[in-house]
Chains A and B, each alone.
Chain A
Amino acid sequence: MQLTEIRIAGFGGQGVMLSAHIIGKAAAVYQGAYATMTQSFGPEARGGAASAQVILSDRPVLYPYVTRPDILIAMSQEAYHRFLPELKPNGLLLVESDLVRISDLPAGVRVHSIPATRLAEELGRRMVLNVVMVGFFGAITALLEPDALRKAVIDSVPPATRDLNVRAFEKGFEYGLSTLHGERKIETDHPPLPLESQH
């Protein structure tokens, strides 16, 4: 896996940190890659914007912060506006379609959207929207093995909510596959994104 910088942002309570934790854990613990996760602390982390950063690589990660993300997962309008400018040209943007209105999109950015909150509500618990998003991320990017992500979900949530979270993951993953319209086969045969190495 080439070095991939991911920014996940939304508002407090959406489970932004947990989704970043699951992605990092899937890479580092279940797929033998390297992952470094950092998060915003302090006043900016309260209430409004919540943001987490994960760097995935097949080599040890040196610089710990995301500077030009390859992938931005935006789960609120504020997060979209705040972090879109730092997304790499030709980067990938994943959005919560009911919460983010796409505007001023730079040319070259690939966008995929999912009504993650609504899908989570269909499962009975709005709070699993972050895990729906992780499933969606897994299907769209094909960066990580689905099973690694699934194990990381199971390993990161309270035992009583495991089944619900696995269903949330599958729902997001299926939604992602369906939005790819069968392009997925091609994408898994090649690196899914034209990424530059940090090293």
Chain B
Amino acid sequence: MPHADPKGVLTGVHFMDGDHAACEGAIAAGARFAAGYPITPSTEIVERFAARIPTVGGVFIQMEDELAASIAIAGAVWAGAKAFTVTSGPGFSLMMEHIGFAAMTETPCVFINVQRGGPSTGLPTLPAQADMMQARWGSHGDYEIIALCPNSPQECFDLAIRAFNLAEEFRVPVMFMMDEVVGHMTEKVVIPPAEQIQIYPRRHTRLPPGEYKPFEPGPDLVPDMVHAGEGYRFHVTGLTHDERGYPSMTVAAQDRLVKRLKAKITRAADRLACYETDGVEGADVVVVCYGITSRVALRAVHLARERGVKVGWLRLITVWPFPTKQLRALARQIKAFVVPELNLGQMVLEVERAAAGQAETISVPHAGGGVHDPEQILDAIMEVVR
């Protein structure tokens, strides 16, 4: 893979919050267009992008609303840019239609959601992780997305780059699921030199105009792209389309297209699975967590180990596609999963599905507005081993 354009890489050691770090990750990844309708607690991301991008060469547009922002990025991508939008719960809800559009038209782009308490306007300045199912299922129809979940400012930088790379490789909208705490906490962020940052370039066709079909997939089920103004004829539509991109509203075309949109991600699920573990081997209980809750949970895990409990910790980094196979294998070796999250029980449903009855699955819900008290998670762990 080629490396990042040094112009966009702020190499050095910084003390930076997660929002700013995510923005630097996006710029390092090659994003040169963002459209947004600023909303707490994500505002710092677009604020920084608007300040930084003129020095790098790119465009930020503050749009009239989130519908406009989320479709403007699709336009920018088809004109050749790497593009993203940034929002929080209320805006994310408004963007759902265009997440489906991006999935259907295989438009590589990144949606950053710095999650706050909901539903509706909820808790603008306080954390939650309650948009995790919305990220997967929020738009209508059958489709797949990829979702990543950072737990520190450093990871906001690192994973933002991966988000853009995966978007390009799979031609899929990638959901970057931060939370208010991770967005607003300030920690050390090391930004490496540009030559150490690998960038997945736009998949551009090598075929000449006339031979190129815009939605003819390669062996990995992903088609190559062209951009407006390059002399190729192409047509991008949210209607069910054939390999030429023309509407083709038949059972056969629907079957071929929608199954491919799903399969291009599910076939790569093993490669996409990404999680971090601590002490999972030989554990009786494994705490499954993500985002800020993973840090609070690790504290609880340490407390439980001090009491002699064999407890492991598994932090999801790629949340969607869910690593079902990996968790199912783990379920056979343990007694129970404990799943703390800043919602009333979302990813725990996936853990339960993966466990398939082989291990008990305990939810440790929190309605949001803060993080768990580690003691709450500890209590759940102790309850299981009692």
Are both chains from one complex? yes
- The distance in angstroms between the C-alpha atoms of A34 and B152, with both chains bound, is 12
**1/0 per residue A48-74: CB within 8 Å of B?**
000000000000011111000000000
User: Which residue of B40, B41, B299 contacts A62 across the interface (Cβ within 8 Å)?
Assistant: B299
**1/0 per residue B302-317: CB within 8 Å of A?**
1000000000000000
- The distance in angstroms between the C-alpha atoms of A182 and B284, with both chains bound, is 55
> In the bound complex, do residue A29 and residue B292 qualify as a contact, i.e. CB atoms below 8 Å apart?
no
Interface hit among A6-14, A36-44, A93-101, A158-166 = A36-44
B182 and chain A: residue at smallest CB distance: A64
Chain B, interface size: which category?
Answer: 20 to 34
- The distance in angstroms between the C-alpha atoms of A41 and B185, with both chains bound, is 11
Cβ of B295 within 8 Å of any chain A Cβ, yes or no, is: yes
> In the bound complex, do residue B13 and residue A29 qualify as a contact, i.e. CB atoms below 8 Å apart?
yes
User: Which residue of B14, B125, B185, B302 contacts A199 across the interface (Cβ within 8 Å)?
Assistant: B302
> In the bound complex, do residue B187 and residue A37 qualify as a contact, i.e. CB atoms below 8 Å apart?
yes
Cβ of B188 within 8 Å of any chain A Cβ, yes or no, is: yes
B39 CB to closest chain A CB (Å) equals 13
Using a CB–CB distance below 8 Å, which chain A residues touch chain B? 21, 24-25, 28-29, 34-39, 41-42, 61-65, 152, 198-199
B124 and chain A: residue at smallest CB distance: A42
Interfacial residues of chain B within 164-202, with CB under 8 A of chain A in the complex: 181, 184-188
User: Which residue of B126, B295, B298 contacts A42 across the interface (Cβ within 8 Å)?
Assistant: B126
User: Which residue of A36, A41, A198 contacts B125 across the interface (Cβ within 8 Å)?
Assistant: A41
User: Which residue of B13, B15, B40, B186 contacts A41 across the interface (Cβ within 8 Å)?
Assistant: B40
> In the bound complex, do residue B295 and residue A21 qualify as a contact, i.e. CB atoms below 8 Å apart?
no
> In the bound complex, do residue B292 and residue A64 qualify as a contact, i.e. CB atoms below 8 Å apart?
yes
Cβ of B80 within 8 Å of any chain A Cβ, yes or no, is: no
User: Which residue of A34, A37, A152, A198 contacts B185 across the interface (Cβ within 8 Å)?
Assistant: A37
Cβ of B371 within 8 Å of any chain A Cβ, yes or no, is: yes
* B296 CB contacts on chain A under 8 angstroms: 62-63
B181 and chain A: residue at smallest CB distance: A64
**With contacts A21-B15, A28-B187, A41-B41 known, is A64 near B371, CB below 8 A?**
yes
**With contacts A38-B185, A42-B124 known, is A24 near B15, CB below 8 A?**
yes
* A35 CB contacts on chain B under 8 angstroms: 15, 187-188
> In the bound complex, do residue B41 and residue A36 qualify as a contact, i.e. CB atoms below 8 Å apart?
no
> In the bound complex, do residue A25 and residue B15 qualify as a contact, i.e. CB atoms below 8 Å apart?
yes
Cβ of B374 within 8 Å of any chain A Cβ, yes or no, is: yes
**1/0 per residue B145-175: CB within 8 Å of A?**
0000000000000000000000000000000
B296 and chain A: residue at smallest CB distance: A63
**With contacts A42-B125, A42-B126, A199-B302 known, is A37 near B186, CB below 8 A?**
yes
* A34 CB contacts on chain B under 8 angstroms: 187-188
